[in-house]
Chains A and B, each alone.
Chain A
Amino acid sequence: MAKMATIYIDNKPYTVKEGDNLLHACLSLGFDIPYFCWHPAMHSVGACRQCAVKQFKDENDTLGRIVMSCMTPAVEGTRISIDDEEVRAFRKSIIEFLMTNHPHDCPVCDEGGECHLQDMTVMTGHSYRRFRFKKRTYRNQYLGPFVNHEMNRCIQCYRCVRFYRDYAGGRDFGAFASHHHVYFGRHKEGALENEFSGNLVEICPTGVFTDKTFKRHYTRKWDLQTAPSVCVHCGLGCNTIPGERYGLLRRIQNRYNGAVNGYFLCDRGRFGYEFVNAERRIRQPLMKRSSLPVPREEVMQHLSRLIYFGARVIGIGSPRASLEGNFALRSLVGEDHFYTGVSAMDARLLEKIIMVLAKGPARSSSLAEAGAADAVFVLGEDVTNSAPLLALSLRQSVRLKPMEIDKRLHIPEWDDSAVRNAAQQEKRPLFVATPYRTKLEEVSTQAYHAAPDDLARLGFAVAHELDNRSPAVKGLPKKLHTLAEGIARVLSQAEHPLIVSGTGCGSEAVLESAANVAWALCRKNRSADLCFAVPECNSLGLALMGEGSVSDAFKAVHDGAVDTAIILENDLYLRAETEDVNSFFDKVRNVIVIDHSVTGTASKADVVVPAAAFAEGDGTLVNNEGRAQRFYQVFVPDRDIEESWRWLRDIMAASGRPGLKHWTGLDDIVQAMSNSIKAFKNIAESNVPAGYRITGQHIPRQPHRYSGRTAMHANISVVEPKPPEDKDSPLSFSMEGFSGQPPAGLIPRFWAPGWNSVQALNKFQSEVGGPLTGGDPGQRLFEPVQESTVSYFDEVPGAFSPRENELLLVRVYHIFGSEELSAMSPCIAESAPGPYIGLKPEDAELFQVSEGRDVRISINDKEYSLPVKYLPELPSGVGVLPAGLRGLEGLELPAWGRINNQAKG
């Protein structure tokens, strides 16, 4: 518990945390002090001089002196005035200075209406321009497909560089020039390289950096219909706020969750939303026998005939569909005929992850906890590309070392520039062991590259060093032994060590070794956490629901026991080899696909039913931590699009199967799920029931200033339609309803009187930078078993030995392109690399190929032709292939590939 202090603000006593800066303390108390350069995640530098307050020596001091509240610690008896006339005039004149060069752009600026500079200008009362001279101007830069640059609007607060360079570790962005010409941009035009560049949009207090995808279909914040949602582009489950207008999804903004994503999102999550608006969307039911869309009733009739009682029907679920969708399918076809629809390898890996988290003594770590770990060991996962925000968290954990130095030097931890100065290059330990060089190595203590089996051996060796009962690794080279010893020593000295691994390597042994390390630490009474990156947004939830991979489904079909297959939001071509999928489609008489976008699988189906994308429906997703998080419908989609679970419920009712379920809304399904599946016993706890009202009112999805109600449909009919009803949640599709703060899980947007920008978030937190008022939303489904008797994994794989003329191919991840849904968004597709094969230059020489030339490689008797890319830091005998990129889908890696070196492109 932090020490508290009493401070006096305008002669009234308040209790605050001792040592916090005054700005932090005052904002947490609910006072409004204008600020620019301070950010709760990046702390204070005292650059903008905006947050001035007057400090008094004691109660007899009437003169006082002006100090910057962000740079002044709160100590017992501090007396300040926010309201003093002199300091108010000071703050007003600072804004006036900032505005001398600010262009007359607000009407055409995308920040307008949610602009921190606008809010602060109004707050200080500056309203009339006295400056008669000319305004400074700049030329803008092209910064890639995500972020728009309009440098004239800059007020030189330095937040952008501090985020981009210091927080996110980017290098291709900085401050240039001098005096009042300071310029923020790249050394030359080009796309921003950092994976978190999109956060500049929210970090920038004015309109210098704005969302380029949003700009194409621009709408003001007050016109966006929003609802709390969860990102679907990786397994971390970051909280988001999607915004809609006129039936089009317009943008994604961050939704703060103190335990998950905090203040930031990655670019894939922020800009991957465009697939919802894409041409590839399925908007009406389709049937193979007709080239035109079919009416809903006809499809229902047809489906009820196919799924009559007694028909042999199997269901293939999906890790990118909600729990409810999967559960409805499972209920329709029966537990024995439900397959999770992940690849055979993923099924094995996910089962192992669940076993480790549910049975072992190590806790699954949240993103926030990962950021606070004091020693990290990354084993076999390229987190920057497979779970980007985890990489951002780990970068912060590395930075925590300085905090220890500061305590010694008595520097408060919020004094950002002093902290960095004191720390210099000092870092907390971070060990990275991966098959190929990953971006996180920039900040690592030590990195190691090896084939998956060798990575697992390193893990096992570390575990053995920590605890003798963990199996020893035979024949470990001296160098590796020393490395393992070093890692074990550092981890055992840490209080909260974190082991990060995941499905990226495709190796169970790697997961087992990571688990052994964490368990060994737990048995040494360290509170060791485990963090596994999983491939998709609901991978873990689906694995908790059932077993059976795509291969098992194929087997059932080949055994001839299936008439009809229902495939839920899944593209089987990404899960198994093309031939296997094709033969599956040949064998099954009727294929029904429920999906939101046209995929290879949908185009093979006999009946295609339009499912809702994440913003068009309600559901629950379970993230890699095992946290069940609810996402809410943002808007009512056009025509026949409905949530999968709704379709399945209706099909169930129409077919008259014995397991007919009387589900009216989402709550009924959630209840049924928590009754019938043990892992989901607590899932209803985080769920706010649809009947929930505050003072008898809904929570409106539209802001109270939502415009155009009586004109937006007037071209179709002048009679205004009744707003759609929402049976599944306490939110309404209207601007009417409860205007105060809703419970944390139901916050549709951050707005407070006088705070139109994202900075309004301060008003929704119990303490600035802390959890949301009432606790961060989400329900953890598993906790560690304290007195766990689970024994160590003891199958240590043999050392990797390269083969002649062959390469062990492992997957390499790309933040843009490796994930299915975001790859359908134009701006992400633009940033995705083309397919290639990564080789060590020495290996390439051996095979007589060179960079840029095509090489033919046969994997599982299938030949691929791919251009070569040199990756000098690969272990020899190992090659990498990009995951999920066009032409390489469905390939199960790691696998051996034979190079046909006689063929040269």
Chain B
Amino acid sequence: MFSLIRGAWTVLLHMFHRRVTVQYPDAKAYVPPRWRGRIILSRDPDGGERCVACYLCAVACPVDCIALQATEDENGRRYPEFFRINFSRCIFCGFCEEACPTYAIQLTTDYEMGEYKRSSLVYEKEDLLISGTGKYPGYNFYRVAGLAISGKDKGEAKDEEPPVDVKSLLP
């Protein structure tokens, strides 16, 4: 009898405690900016696709859930022809982001990805590509690479000398 009253009393006291339960989805928990959530593909400051289809994210992925195919535009700029992430396999480890040499692939703070069908968790490039630079503003891979693309000729990248004149013998 006494234990029943004690139990009721404890419950009653809890009414005056601070609430731990968050009223999701009306209220949302704090997510740190480095949270490893839904993966996106970003664009460089000029608006071009950052991904150069180097396959490093795919090979770094421990569950092999990234598949892509490289292709090139007429000026030699490489980009993915398709880029697919199977989120039903993804473990959000962030290795892809770490491997990415161009800051293209990034993990975001979004975690609300529940679906009724597994196949809806397969994201193609159009689902992944955002219009901004994401977490890393300013970086533009092709401005530091030696490859010539449209709008950036040989010798115009950062820290490059103009192309060598092969016919000159001057020092």
Point out residues on A near B: beta carbons under 8 Å: 103-108, 112-113, 133-140, 150, 152-153, 176-179, 181, 183, 215-220, 222-223, 246, 705-712, 714-715, 717-718
User: Please, how many angstroms separate the alpha-carbon atoms of A711 and B122 in the complex?
Assistant: 8
Interchain nearest-CB distance for B57 vs A (Å): 9
Point out residues on B near A: beta carbons under 8 Å: 52-56, 58-59, 61, 63-72, 78, 84-86, 88-89, 101-102, 118-119, 121-122, 124, 141, 144-148, 154-155, 157, 159-169, 171
Contact A105 B88 (CB under 8 A): no
Please name the residue on chain A nearest to B88 by beta carbon.
A718
A705 and B59 in contact (CB under 8 A), knowing A108-B78, A711-B65? yes
Complex interface: chain B residues within 8 A of A706 (CB): 64
- Sample of 19 more A-B contacts, CB < 8 Å, known A106-B54, A218-B78, A714-B65: A103-B157, A107-B141, A136-B164, A137-B146, A137-B154, A137-B160, A139-B154, A150-B147, A152-B146, A153-B146, A176-B167, A177-B168, A177-B169, A222-B55, A707-B58, A707-B64, A707-B67, A710-B86, A718-B122
User: Please, how many angstroms separate the alpha-carbon atoms of A178 and B164 in the complex?
Assistant: 11
User: Please, how many angstroms separate the alpha-carbon atoms of A217 and B59 in the complex?
Assistant: 18
Contact A718 B119 (CB under 8 A): yes
Complex interface: chain A residues within 8 A of B63 (CB): 710
A136 and B54 in contact (CB under 8 A), knowing A707-B66, A711-B64, A714-B84? no
- Which among A218, A246, A705 has the highest number of chain B CB atoms within 10 Å? A218
User: Please, how many angstroms separate the alpha-carbon atoms of A181 and B63 in the complex?
Assistant: 46
Q: Which of A153, A707, A711 is close to B85, meaning CB atoms less than 8 Å apart?
A: A711
Contact A718 B121 (CB under 8 A): yes
Complex interface: chain A residues within 8 A of B102 (CB): 107
User: Please, how many angstroms separate the alpha-carbon atoms of A661 and B132 in the complex?
Assistant: 65
Interchain nearest-CB distance for A260 vs B (Å): 32
- Which among B65, B118, B124, B144 has the highest number of chain A CB atoms within 10 Å? B65
Contact B52 A108 (CB under 8 A): yes
User: Please, how many angstroms separate the alpha-carbon atoms of A216 and B70 in the complex?
Assistant: 9
Contact A707 B55 (CB under 8 A): yes
A-side interface mostly: loop
Complex interface: chain A residues within 8 A of B148 (CB): 140
Complex interface: chain A residues within 8 A of B122 (CB): 711, 714-715, 718
User: Please, how many angstroms separate the alpha-carbon atoms of A714 and B90 in the complex?
Assistant: 13
Q: List 16 A-B contacts (CB under 8 A).
A: A134-B160, A135-B160, A137-B155, A150-B146, A177-B168, A181-B166, A219-B55, A220-B59, A223-B58, A708-B65, A710-B86, A710-B89, A711-B89, A715-B122, A717-B119, A718-B122
Complex interface: chain A residues within 8 A of B168 (CB): 177, 181
Complex interface: chain B residues within 8 A of A707 (CB): 55, 58-59, 61, 64, 66-67
User: Please, how many angstroms separate the alpha-carbon atoms of A177 and B154 in the complex?
Assistant: 18
Complex interface: chain A residues within 8 A of B52 (CB): 107-108
A179 and B171 in contact (CB under 8 A), knowing A137-B155, A708-B58, A718-B118? yes
User: Please, how many angstroms separate the alpha-carbon atoms of A136 and B155 in the complex?
Assistant: 8
User: Please, how many angstroms separate the alpha-carbon atoms of A749 and B63 in the complex?
Assistant: 24
Q: Which of A134, A140, A177, A708 is close to B64, meaning CB atoms less than 8 Å apart?
A: A708
A135 and B166 in contact (CB under 8 A), knowing A223-B55, A715-B122, A718-B88? no
Interchain nearest-CB distance for B59 vs A (Å): 5
Complex interface: chain B residues within 8 A of A717 (CB): 119
Complex interface: chain B residues within 8 A of A714 (CB): 65, 67, 84, 86, 88, 119, 122
Please name the residue on chain B nearest to A131 by beta carbon.
B159
Complex interface: chain A residues within 8 A of B68 (CB): 708
User: Please, how many angstroms separate the alpha-carbon atoms of A708 and B86 in the complex?
Assistant: 9
Complex interface: chain B residues within 8 A of A218 (CB): 53, 70-71, 78
Contact B164 A106 (CB under 8 A): no
Interchain nearest-CB distance for B73 vs A (Å): 12
User: Please, how many angstroms separate the alpha-carbon atoms of A218 and B79 in the complex?
Assistant: 11
Complex interface: chain B residues within 8 A of A715 (CB): 84, 122, 124
Please name the residue on chain B nearest to A717 by beta carbon.
B119
Q: Which of A107, A138, A223 is close to B163, meaning CB atoms less than 8 Å apart?
A: A138
User: Please, how many angstroms separate the alpha-carbon atoms of A176 and B167 in the complex?
Assistant: 8
Interchain nearest-CB distance for B93 vs A (Å): 14
Complex interface: chain A residues within 8 A of B165 (CB): 181
Contact B163 A137 (CB under 8 A): yes
A709 and B70 in contact (CB under 8 A), knowing A220-B59, A222-B59? no
User: Please, how many angstroms separate the alpha-carbon atoms of A850 and B2 in the complex?
Assistant: 123
User: Please, how many angstroms separate the alpha-carbon atoms of A300 and B151 in the complex?
Assistant: 58
Contact A178 B160 (CB under 8 A): no
User: Please, how many angstroms separate the alpha-carbon atoms of A223 and B56 in the complex?
Assistant: 11
User: Please, how many angstroms separate the alpha-carbon atoms of A332 and B88 in the complex?
Assistant: 50
Contact B161 A134 (CB under 8 A): yes
Contact B101 A107 (CB under 8 A): yes
Complex interface: chain A residues within 8 A of B84 (CB): 711-712, 714-715
Complex interface: chain B residues within 8 A of A179 (CB): 171
Please name the residue on chain A nearest to B82 by beta carbon.
A715
Contact A177 B85 (CB under 8 A): no
Contact A711 B86 (CB under 8 A): yes
Contact B66 A711 (CB under 8 A): yes
Contact A134 B101 (CB under 8 A): no
Contact B155 A103 (CB under 8 A): no
Complex interface: chain A residues within 8 A of B71 (CB): 218
User: Please, how many angstroms separate the alpha-carbon atoms of A105 and B101 in the complex?
Assistant: 10
Q: Which of B145, B155, B164, B166 is close to A108, meaning CB atoms less than 8 Å apart?
A: B145
Contact B145 A246 (CB under 8 A): no
Complex interface: chain A residues within 8 A of B166 (CB): 138, 176-177, 181, 183
User: Please, how many angstroms separate the alpha-carbon atoms of A112 and B86 in the complex?
Assistant: 25
User: Please, how many angstroms separate the alpha-carbon atoms of A879 and B122 in the complex?
Assistant: 64
Complex interface: chain A residues within 8 A of B66 (CB): 707-708, 711
Complex interface: chain A residues within 8 A of B89 (CB): 710-711
Please name the residue on chain B nearest to A177 by beta carbon.
B166
Please name the residue on chain B nearest to A712 by beta carbon.
B67
- Which among A135, A705, A706, A711 has the highest number of chain B CB atoms within 10 Å? A711
User: Please, how many angstroms separate the alpha-carbon atoms of A216 and B78 in the complex?
Assistant: 10
User: Please, how many angstroms separate the alpha-carbon atoms of A711 and B68 in the complex?
Assistant: 9
User: Please, how many angstroms separate the alpha-carbon atoms of A104 and B122 in the complex?
Assistant: 32
User: Please, how many angstroms separate the alpha-carbon atoms of A183 and B167 in the complex?
Assistant: 10
Complex interface: chain B residues within 8 A of A216 (CB): 72
Interchain nearest-CB distance for B169 vs A (Å): 5
User: Please, how many angstroms separate the alpha-carbon atoms of A106 and B55 in the complex?
Assistant: 11
Complex interface: chain A residues within 8 A of B169 (CB): 177-178
User: Please, how many angstroms separate the alpha-carbon atoms of A718 and B162 in the complex?
Assistant: 50
A181 and B145 in contact (CB under 8 A), knowing A139-B154, A711-B85, A712-B67? no
User: Please, how many angstroms separate the alpha-carbon atoms of A217 and B81 in the complex?
Assistant: 10
Please name the residue on chain A nearest to B70 by beta carbon.
A218
Interchain nearest-CB distance for A644 vs B (Å): 31
Q: Which 8 A-B pairs have the closest CB atoms?
A: A103-B146, A708-B67, A107-B54, A711-B67, A707-B58, A152-B146, A709-B64, A714-B86
Complex interface: chain B residues within 8 A of A106 (CB): 54, 101
Complex interface: chain A residues within 8 A of B121 (CB): 718
User: Please, how many angstroms separate the alpha-carbon atoms of A708 and B62 in the complex?
Assistant: 10
Contact A103 B147 (CB under 8 A): yes
User: Please, how many angstroms separate the alpha-carbon atoms of A51 and B136 in the complex?
Assistant: 41
Please name the residue on chain B nearest to A183 by beta carbon.
B166
Contact B163 A220 (CB under 8 A): no
User: Please, how many angstroms separate the alpha-carbon atoms of A106 and B147 in the complex?
Assistant: 10
User: Please, how many angstroms separate the alpha-carbon atoms of A117 and B69 in the complex?
Assistant: 25
A710 and B101 in contact (CB under 8 A), knowing A137-B154, A718-B119? no
Interchain nearest-CB distance for B26 vs A (Å): 32
Contact B163 A139 (CB under 8 A): yes
- Which among A107, A135, A718 has the highest number of chain B CB atoms within 10 Å? A107
Complex interface: chain A residues within 8 A of B167 (CB): 176-177
Please name the residue on chain A nearest to B121 by beta carbon.
A718
Please name the residue on chain A nearest to B85 by beta carbon.
A711
A152 and B161 in contact (CB under 8 A), knowing A108-B145, A183-B166? no
User: Please, how many angstroms separate the alpha-carbon atoms of A181 and B145 in the complex?
Assistant: 19
Complex interface: chain A residues within 8 A of B118 (CB): 718
Contact B72 A215 (CB under 8 A): yes
Complex interface: chain B residues within 8 A of A135 (CB): 146, 159-161
Q: Which of B54, B67, B72, B124 is close to A112, meaning CB atoms less than 8 Å apart?
A: B54
